[in-house]
Amino acid sequence: MEMIDYTMLGRTGTQVSRVCLGAMTMGTLMDRDESFRTLDSFAEQGGNFIDTANCYSWWVGKGENVGDESEAMLGEWMHARKNRERIFLATKCGARLRDPRAIRDADGNPRWAEVPSNYEGASRRVILGAVQDSLRRLRTDYIDLYYVHVDDRKTPLEETLGTLNELVASGVIRHLGYSNVRTWRLERIRALCERNGWAQPIAIQQEYSFLRPAAGANLGVAVHADGEFFDYLAENPSMTLLAYSPLLKGIYASREKRLAYYNWSLYDTPDSAARLERLEVVGKRLGIDGNTLVLAWMLHRKPAIIPIVGGSRFSHFRENFAALDVRLDGETMDYLEGRSASA
Ligand SMILES: NC(=O)c1ccc[n+]([C@@H]2O[C@H](COP(=O)([O-])OP(=O)(O)OC[C@H]3O[C@@H](n4cnc5c(N)ncnc54)[C@H](OP(=O)(O)O)[C@@H]3O)[C@@H](O)[C@H]2O)c1
């Protein structure tokens, strides 16, 4: 397997690995051994960019997890490997639940509809507390990239961004990121930071994959990177897109996986059918499966998009990083994206 290349994050001058490792399942679906094995392998391949949040993954299980687990696992790993300074560590605040145990039904399952109204949000009080809790769990005194996890429209942006700017000024946070944020809000955020001379977000984390949701699809608080967003990015090269759920939970592996995906109805369109067909043609020709091909396609998009690669076991990560070895020429990219009719 090839070593992982590096790319610049926005215009920061900071180089990060071309793929980011999503640590959402670590400490819950993945135990210590499986997590360490995955992290070690990523680091050995030259990867340094790791993504977590202060709420991963409270929803796993029947109430035994609260959202500390992934950060704590990463903290333990960096402590054991003594490699904190070699890691570019991203975490998030704002989508932790005020009380993750109170939001379950009698069977212990999350009451998903109530989740957004139970987010802690991005007020000054929450951010200042959350950052300290994350530092403690991560066993570090700085965070390379700190995201607002879900845009909080109830807290004035001045409060959120002014507080984050103080944390940047004091060196606790190196860079700012925003996740699940609409383009018009992002422009407001950027303009406000510019007006005040505050640190601006340089990483935007949105859902993004090869299939596109139906026009007007309701993804809840999640924001899928769309044409409007890419147009905005083209004018704002100081921001880089971090693509989360790049495999839409692994749906490119099989039809069964697609039908089982909780959001499949939002993606089940003629556009998706055509895209899946083209994916199959290219996958067969190259002898690779749909998940690998989707990640390879994403790695060939310009300007650079950084996929956040996820999985619930080591083998997923190993298979997904094989995408780094796949070369797609211009004609194949055109075919996959429907700009030409022949593969
Ligand atoms: N900002 C946000 O709001 C947000 C939201 C979600 C995720 N994220 C970040 O993005 C990262 C990735 O997100 P994600 O986990 O949703 O990504 P994803 O790539 O869309 O889904 C990962 C899931 O796909 C399946 N999968 C992955 N590789 C596979 C393989 N090679 N073969 C078969 N199945 C495979 C597994 O499902 P099974 O477990 O069912 O087998 C795995 O858990 C997370 O770790 C997190 O850091 C951010």
Flag whether 67 is in a domain: yes
How does pLDDT run across 18-62, given as a tens digit for each residue?
999 999 999 999 999 999 999 999 999 999 999 999 999 999 999
Return the CATH number at 68.
3.20.20.100
Residue 343 inside a domain? The answer is no
Q: Classify residue 158 by burial, with Cβ atoms within 10 Å: 0-12, 13-18, 19+.
A: exposed
CB 175, CB 165: distance < 8 Å? no
- 227 in a structural domain: yes
Residue with tokens 């080591």: 314
* Residue 1 is assigned to a structural domain of this protein: no
Report the C-alpha gap between 170 and 160 in whole angstroms: 16
Nearest residue (CA) to ligand 1, atom 14: 245
Centroid of ligand 1 to alpha carbon of 262 (angstroms): 13
Verify whether ligand 1 is closer than 6 Å to residue 206 (CB atom).
Answer: no
pLDDT tens, residue by residue, 223-238: 999 999 999 999 999 9
- Using CA positions, which residue lies closest to atom 48 of ligand 1? 244
Domains held by the chain: number:
1
CA 338–ligand 1 middle distance (angstroms): 26
Residue 100 is predicted with a pLDDT of: 87
pLDDT in tens, 181-234: 999 999 999 999 999 999 999 999 999 999 999 999 999 999 999 999 999 999
Catalytic positions, written as ranges: 56
Which domain, by its residues, includes 199? 6-336
